Structure 1
Amino acid sequence: MTTAPSKAGRNLPAAIAVGVALGALVIASLLLVPMVWFGIVGAAMAIATWEVSTRLRESDILVPRIPLLLGGQAIIWLGWPYGTSGVLGGFAATVLVCMVWRLLDQGLNKAPQNYLRDVSITVFVAAWVPLLASFATLMVTHDGGAKWVFVFMLGVVCSDVGGYAAGVLFGKHPMVPAISPKKSWEGLAGSLVFAIIGSLLTVTLILDANPFIGVLLGVVLVVTGTLGDLIESQVKRDLGIKDMGTKLPGHGGIMDRLDSLLPSAFVTWLVLTALL
């Protein structure tokens, strides 16, 4: 017998089980061997890129999947020895190879067919998935970087939990019904309360830093997380699909779980790098 989705549209027991399992994997890797985080992020980005590229190809948008997958790994892994310079170099090389790949794929003796559209969307995917994810791995290269990742992940979790709980219990006023009907202003308020409290505590207790940094981080995590979720919802609406994949029960695909994490990784890295 299948479990009916909750008011927020999820299979709640399955979603909780998957979330706990993923959280345990992250915690174990960061506590035992922090650099294993590169492998976890790299694997997740490969699956997410495959999901997105598959959905795009189903809509006849021919993104060059092989160089996008390999380039995504280069973007992630070059951050280990070379930091932001390695990430930027990997991204530039990926874009260049994808441009040439798509050019040769259609044949040099044929009239161009959607070349500009396909290449533009390919660059978007490379920036959206592996480039933003690389900032989650760059965090762990800092001294005490595992603590940065904990602060990042706990802040996003607090935002998600607060938004979900407030949305289910009090949600009456849709925020952007044309893009995401289940998002409400009450849910956004819940996200703000939980994320600010959670980030304030983690920044103070884990990083031993100024609590005002935690307040700032909590606010920006809610803003970027919400916008990240809306961006993926808009992409899915453009493609006429509900989920990017089906690999995570209660969540959809890997990319459906990463939509708020990807931009949040960048802003966490930015805030902590600038202020710490």
Structure 2
Amino acid sequence: MPKPNISLTRRLESCKNFFVRLITTFVLVPIVLVVTYEGGFWFISLVSLVIGIASFEWSKLCGETSLIFNVCYSLTGPIISVIYFYWGYQIALLFIIVFALIYMFTNNRLNHNNMWFSFGVCYLSLPMVCIIMLRMDDSIGLNYVLFLFIVVWMTDIGAYFVGKLIGGSKLMPAISPKKTWSGAFGGLVFSLVGAIILASIVENRVPPTYMVLAIFLSIISQFGDLFESWVKRRFNKKDSGLIIPGHGGILDRIDGLLTSAPIMLLTILLLKDIAFL
């Protein structure tokens, strides 16, 4: 009986995963873009839903097995978004701290990873508030969020394709064995190209600060990806979940946004008198 061709099997599996990943992307991206364009209640609802699912995944990733605890933890982000919607970002930030302290000092009977649960509240809810704040600027908020999404998405795409095609030296093999330096550089280039195209369409010009911010956010986004890889390795998990076919969990898709969104908002606040979008 002939032995199965392991190499061929792996290639077929890789191709299948790629096409599933591609189809999922073509379905989800238009939905996200339409809701982002609409803004307001629908945008806040989408962001809240995403963070709620991500919180559920984070709780499970940290070793929690109680469904009741996981569900309660997943409601933290949506509750904070409701608080933001009615009472503003100051009260929302206050409640992020309150929830973080609650999870830090409440011992769970199944495990003692309270620091991870406490950190998760800030790690997930703070970027959520930042993204909502960016979009709520009626005059240019849509451009801000589109810029952020394009940079992060193109970073992921560039890193994936260039890393697959070129390969080479590993970026941080102890944290993420598949990531390469060529992929990291490809992510930078793709993000810059995506940002330039967006600027050309929206403003018919490409300010230098715009390009610098795109590169900086791309780097921050890749650090976010590496951080989540480190957390998964810390808890011996391959993916954060299976909710998105071909991609894994929600956390696997938004890890770059979680680190880059606060930096984007901080940059906007610091450079509010400089038009770069």
After TM superposition, the score normalised by the length of structure 2 is: 0.84
Letter in 2 for 1:194: F
CA contact 2:77–2:121 (8 Å) conserved in 1: yes
Map Cα deviations across residues 146-177 of structure 1 (whole Å, 9 max, x no partner).
22111111111211122122111112111111
Query: Are 1:31 and 2:37 matched, yes or no?
Result: yes
Between the aligned partners of 1:207 and 1:148, the Cα distance in structure 2 is 13
Structure 1 spans left out of the alignment, 5+ residues: 107-112
Match among 74, 79, 89 for residue 74 of structure 1: 79
**Cα offset for 1:208?**
6.8
Between the aligned partners of 1:89 and 1:127, the Cα distance in structure 2 is 11
Between the aligned partners of 2:154 and 2:13, the Cα distance in structure 1 is 25
Change (3 A) 1:191 1:223: same
**Cα offset for 1:79?**
2.8
Q: Structure 2 matches for 1:1-276, cutoff 5 A?
A: 4-6=13-15, 11-58=17-64, 65=70, 67-99=72-104, 102-103=106-107, 106=109, 118-143=113-138, 144-203=140-199, 205-206=201-202, 211-276=207-272
Letter in 2 for 1:166: V
CA contact 2:100–2:122 (8 Å) conserved in 1: no
CA contact 1:200–1:213 (8 Å) conserved in 2: no
CA contact 1:200–1:212 (8 Å) conserved in 2: no
Letter in 1 for 2:77: G
CA contact 2:36–2:43 (8 Å) conserved in 1: yes
**Cα offset for 1:183?**
0.9
Identity of aligned residues (%): 28
Between the aligned partners of 2:152 and 2:63, the Cα distance in structure 1 is 31
CA contact 2:134–2:265 (8 Å) conserved in 1: yes
Change (3 A) 1:266 1:207: farther
Map Cα deviations across residues 197-228 of structure 1 (whole Å, 9 max, x no partner).
22233245436776212212211222111111
CA contact 2:103–2:115 (8 Å) conserved in 1: no
CA contact 1:175–1:183 (8 Å) conserved in 2: yes
**Cα offset for 1:245?**
0.7
CA contact 2:244–2:250 (8 Å) conserved in 1: yes
Letter in 2 for 1:130: S
After TM superposition, the score normalised by the length of structure 1 is: 0.84
CA contact 1:71–1:90 (8 Å) conserved in 2: no
**Cα offset for 1:272?**
2.8
Change (3 A) 1:33 1:140: closer
Change (3 A) 1:16 1:35: same
Between the aligned partners of 2:148 and 2:260, the Cα distance in structure 1 is 8
Between the aligned partners of 1:44 and 1:190, the Cα distance in structure 2 is 27
- Matched residues, number: 262
CA contact 1:247–1:253 (8 Å) conserved in 2: yes
**Cα offset for 1:21?**
1.7
Between the aligned partners of 2:77 and 2:38, the Cα distance in structure 1 is 25
